[in-house]
């Protein structure tokens, strides 16, 4: 298949496919007519990249999955290097979750302090129109 068909089937632009080629994630093959030529295996590579990127993996993080597929494995995550990337991403996510919990705790504490400091009765100058 040519680049336009691969782009259509994978749901990406031809520019994206050329970028993947420039990064070494998608092989560059040309037919006798000089046009880029792709097969269903290339479609699987692009789908793997897109799936991983859709859940937050960076383009370079997809490389072990692509290499796993290129090595002939049925899935991109059946190689040790891919599993390492999964583990690294989970550790990264756990760190972010911990940071968000800490921020949430700070905001919650600030809200609680602010609510305690509200005058009784409420100051009419602090009220917004239509809201108490």
Examine the pLDDT at 131 and tell me if it is beyond 80: no
> CA–CA separation, 110 vs 36, rounded Å?
59
Tokens of 121: 């009765």
Name which of 88, 64, 98, 89 is nearest 78 in CA terms: 64
The one-character DSSP state at 124 is G
The one-character DSSP state at 28 is -
What are 58-104's pLDDT values in tens digits? 999 999 999 999 999 999 999 999 999 999 999 999 999 999 999 99
CB contact at 8 A, 89 and 53: no
Examine the pLDDT at 110 and tell me if it is beyond 80: yes
* For residues 2-25, average pLDDT: 96
pLDDT of amino acid 118: 79
What are 23-58's pLDDT values in tens digits? 999 998 999 999 999 999 999 999 999 999 999 999
CB contact at 8 A, 37 and 2: yes
Query: Which CATH code for domain 3-117?
Result: 1.10.1660.10
pLDDT band at 120 (very low <50, low <70, confident <90, very high): confident
Both ends of the chain: CA-CA distance in Å?
63
pLDDT of amino acid 17: 97
Q: Which residue has the higher pLDDT, 123 or 87?
A: 87
pLDDT of amino acid 123: 73
φ/ψ bin of 88: left (φ > 0), alpha (ψ from -120 to 50), beta (otherwise): alpha
Residue 81 Cα distances to 15, 61, 63, 77, angstroms: 28, 10, 9, 8
């Amino acid at each position: 298949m040519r680049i336009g068909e691969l782009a259509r089937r994978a749901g990406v632009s031809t520019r994206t496919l050329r970028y993947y080629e420039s990064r070494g994630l998608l092989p560059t093959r040309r037919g006798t007519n000089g046009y880029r030529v792709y097969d269903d295996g290339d479609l699987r590579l692009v789908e793997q990249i897109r799936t991983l990127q859709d859940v937050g993996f960076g383009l370079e993080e997809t490389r072990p999955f692509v290499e796993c597929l290129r090595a002939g494995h049925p899935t991109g995550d059946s190689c040790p290097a891919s599993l390492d990337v999964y583990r690294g991403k989970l550790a990264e996510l756990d760190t972010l979750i911990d940071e968000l919990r800490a921020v949430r705790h700070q905001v919650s504490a600030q809200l609680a302090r602010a609510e305690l400091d509200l005058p009784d009765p409420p100051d009419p100058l602090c009220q917004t129109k239509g809201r108490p």
